[in-house]
């Protein structure tokens, strides 16, 4: 079994505050609606990239992160 196949899935950043703002971004996890919809199809690499984008969005709202 390869290391990639044995890797556990990156968990969803969802915190169950599912409200989209005017930019179509969730105010809970900071993913776009497209990212939320596509999450289950993402590879772990895509999930990590998505989480990095979400963190950058969150930092724009909360610069103290």
8 A C-beta contact, residue 19 and residue 29: no
Tell me the residue range of the domain where 25 lies. 3-61
**Other CB atoms closer than 10 Å to residue 33's CB: what's the count?**
12
Count how many domains the chain has.
1
What pLDDT, in 10s, does the model give residues 31-65?
Answer: 999 999 999 999 999 999 999 999 999 999 998 98
What pLDDT, in 10s, does the model give residues 2-18?
Answer: 555 689 999 999 999 99
pTM: 0.86
Sign, CA torsion 8/31/50/57: negative
């Amino acid at each position: 079994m390869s290391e990639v196949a044995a890797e556990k899935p990156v968990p969803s950043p969802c915190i169950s505050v599912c409200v989209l703002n005017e930019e179509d971004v969730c105010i809970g996890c900071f993913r776009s609606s497209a990212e939320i919809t596509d999450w289950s199809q993402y590879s772990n690499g895509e999930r990590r990239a998505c989480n990095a984008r979400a963190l950058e969005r969150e930092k724009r709202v909360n610069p103290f992160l």
